[in-house]
Amino acid sequence: MPTNQHHNESPAYSALRAATKVLIEEYVASNPKSAEAFAAAKASGIAGGTNRASIFHEPFPLTFVNAKHATAVTADGQQLTDFLGNYTAGLFGFSPEPVKAAVVEAMENGHALGGAPNLLEAAVAREFTKRFPSIDLVRFSNTGTEANSYAIHTARAVTGRNKIVMYDGAYHGAWIHGGKAAGPLDTPYEKITVPYGNAQLIADAIAANADEIAAVIIEPVSISPLVYLKQVSPKPYLQKIRQACDEAGCALIFDEVMTSRLAPGGAQELLGVTPDLTTFGKYFGGGLPFGGFGGKRAWMERHDPKHPNTINSGGTFNQNAICLAAVQAVFKHLWSEEQCQRHNARATEFKNAINELARAYNAPCKAYGTGSLLTLIWQQQSVTDEQYAADTLTHNLNLVAKRCVFQCTELFWFYMLQRHDLLAGSPKLNYLTLPTTLHDSDYEKFLRGMEMFFQTYANDLQLLHNETKGSAQLTPEEQELIALRTTPYPQSREA
């Protein structure tokens, strides 16, 4: 494929960028109504044309006008099979019928706004305390971001300390990031950011700051500032962090807003490591806003208004009957323990099929993740060490920090969209949070499209293969990209 290679561009990047440009031109020509809708949104006064920065991409995002099950219809009439699942919020597809029926019933009963206790609160709370052994007491919120904020502040209130430990590059909601990922809108927690992958280093950081740390908040999965991974961390690694928190007297918070879908009792059930506080959200609402946090009584009892040192927490919509009716319907009809296990097992089969296909074509691609949370990484070098699962305390994430890796992500997304009517994550990240509404035929359609991608871009992928084998020395490009995204450790500490 001919390319116009720019100065200092690698052959793989130039080739992949040129191929992507062709598909983007088709995308623009195919989606004039989405372009008009985005322009109208900006003209209406919406800053940047969207209320959600994560869904924006160049040249403009698609606009959906209708959707059902796992199929979304764009403003220009294209019917897309959804493998993105709204970043886990769409686990049960678009507008699941049991949720719609429950919401209508709640509206007809006059409980639209709350303002008083309702019978749904206890029913939903029992589901969480039953499924999550770490949760004695629970509180609800409207989003996972709020849930993480509540959990962090609960730990601060109980311990009387202020500092929070989190991973470099961590994301715990709209205003809670770790390291250089933090922006000007971040809540100014006093943070100690630590790199993922060395449990002893993290334990030492906790011990060195034990008198100041209120909580360690982590997702129980692999964290990298360069790309999103949801591969569960090794059990001994998390046990070491658990022990360090116990010795320091601070809370261990598991952010399970996404990972709670991996087992009936969340990733903590898979790993057998119990946090003090757990947060959840997104998909439990079946498409409606919902979040929550809970934990052991010693950490949660201060939320009781009758407690002498009550935190006095709450929110106007934290127990609104419409969203709680949706959550109850999810537990009752859509997410039994058996349904959860079956869906994640099917997703594992899909991951294995992707990797078998990539091996058959010697393509520099592999699906990583656990259960129904998968990420496609476009490099030849393995991201995780072969002994990753058995390694006790230290392991590396071997991500190749080159633009060609991320350019292939964009090319794959536009190709699957334009050629096969598939929503394969986003142009920024091929993150597949698989909905339960996908059928075997949908998985087969994805694999056929992926095989054709390998065939169509075989020469370009060979260049990518050659440039991402990995080496002991980082190129200047890799050093620059890593420096932009990672925070040196140890950080200078506030007085």
Query: pLDDT digits over 277-292, tens only?
Result: 999 999 999 999 999 9
Is position 4 within any domain? no
Burial 130-154 (b: 16+ CB within 10 A, else e): ebbebbebbbbbbbbbbbbbbbbbb
DSSP per position, 376-441: EE--SS-SB-TTTTT-SSB--B-----HHHHHHHHHHHHHHHHHH-EE-S-SS--EEE--TT--HH
| Bond before 184 cis per omega within 30 degrees | no
User: What is residue 165's three-state secondary structure?
Assistant: strand
* 155 and 256 inside one domain: yes
Return the structure tokens found at 474.
């980082």
CA distances to 57, 179, 243, 479 from 489, in Å:
32, 10, 22, 16
pLDDT recorded at residue 388: 57
* 249 and 299 inside one domain: yes
User: Which residues are annotated as catalytic?
Assistant: 171, 255, 282
- What is the maximum span of the chain, computed from C-alpha positions, in angstroms? 73
* 382 and 323 inside one domain: no
Split at pLDDT 50, 70, 90, the class of 142 is very high
Range of the domain at 256: 97-334
Nearest residue to 228 via CA among 485, 491, 490, 488: 485
pLDDT above 60: residue 5: no
Is position 490 within any domain? no
Query: Of all residues in the chain, what percent carry a pLDDT higher than 70?
Result: 95
Return the structure tokens found at 125.
């709370």
CATH number at residue 451: 3.90.1150.10
For 10-35, what is the mean pLDDT? Answer: 98
pLDDT digits (tens, 9 = 90+) for 87-118: 999 999 999 999 999 999 999 987 656 678 89
Split at pLDDT 50, 70, 90, the class of 9 is confident
pLDDT above 70: residue 366: yes
* 229 and 347 inside one domain: no
CATH number at residue 309: 3.40.640.10
Split at pLDDT 50, 70, 90, the class of 392 is confident
Task: State how many domains the chain has.
Answer: 2
User: What is residue 219's three-state secondary structure?
Assistant: coil
Split at pLDDT 50, 70, 90, the class of 3 is very low
* 160 and 303 inside one domain: yes
pLDDT recorded at residue 110: 79
pLDDT digits (tens, 9 = 90+) for 423-472: 999 999 999 999 999 999 999 999 999 999 999 999 999 999 999 997 76
pLDDT digits (tens, 9 = 90+) for 472-494: 688 888 888 889 889 988 764 44
* 26 and 138 inside one domain: no
> Which residue in this structure is represented by tokens 């699957």?
416
Spatial strand order of the sheet with 190-194 comes to 137-141, 291-295, 277-281, 251-255, 213-218, 163-167, 190-194
Which of 303, 334, 365 is the last residue in one of the domains?
334
* 443 and 391 inside one domain: yes
Contact 293, 305 (CB under 8 A): no
> Which residue in this structure is represented by tokens 């116990």?
246
Query: What pTM, to 2 d.p., does this model score?
Result: 0.95
For 183-191, what is the mean pLDDT? Answer: 92
